[in-house]
Amino acid sequence: MPELQPLRLDHAPALLAFEWENRAYFAASIPDRGDDYFTDFAARHAALLAEQAAGLHFFHVLVGSEGEVVGRVNLIDVADGSAELGYRIAEKAAGQGLATTAVRRVCVLAAEQYGLTALRAVTTLDNPGSRAVLARTGFVPTGEILLDGRPGTRYTRDLSAILQDLAR
């Protein structure tokens, strides 16, 4: 099972390879990052680490046994005890339960280490895998949205049950 690690500077080469290798796969279900993401990757990576150090976001990677990145799970826009969850798993690792396991781990981290009480997430209706992960990990639908013109659903996850379990 890949290890969930907080994003670090030394993850940059493996993370860039992950994004390149999976670009077309990801673009089939979520908006493409665009060419600038890859051209300016080093500067963007450094900026994200600075934002993480400031507590604005919490970025994580799933690292395989060979040091390769096989997924990401991020908590962005941290404010008022909540954050937005985003995740992506490499095509070669999809369908193995990695997203569900990683999202569960990040929910515990969010409550236990980051002091968050709620998470938000969004996905398109044509992404049944993502919708299933959110349902399995305790997220509940809270409304309909449009994501880049595509119909989608907004979800929330109350982390109070995790906090209660930790208090026991």
CATH number of the domain to which 32 belongs: 3.40.630.30
Within the chain, strands assigned E span 3-6, 58-63, 69-79, 82-89, 118-124, 140-147, 150-158
For position 148, what pLDDT does the model report? 82
Count of domains forming the chain: 1
Share the mean pLDDT of the chain.
93
For position 34, what pLDDT does the model report? 79
For position 27, what pLDDT does the model report? 83
The pTM assigned to this predicted structure is 0.91
Nearest residue to 38 (alpha-carbon basis) of 13, 9, 57 = 13
Structural domain span for residue 106: 3-167
Low-confidence ranges of the chain (pLDDT < 70): 163-168
For 81, the 3-state DSSP assignment is coil
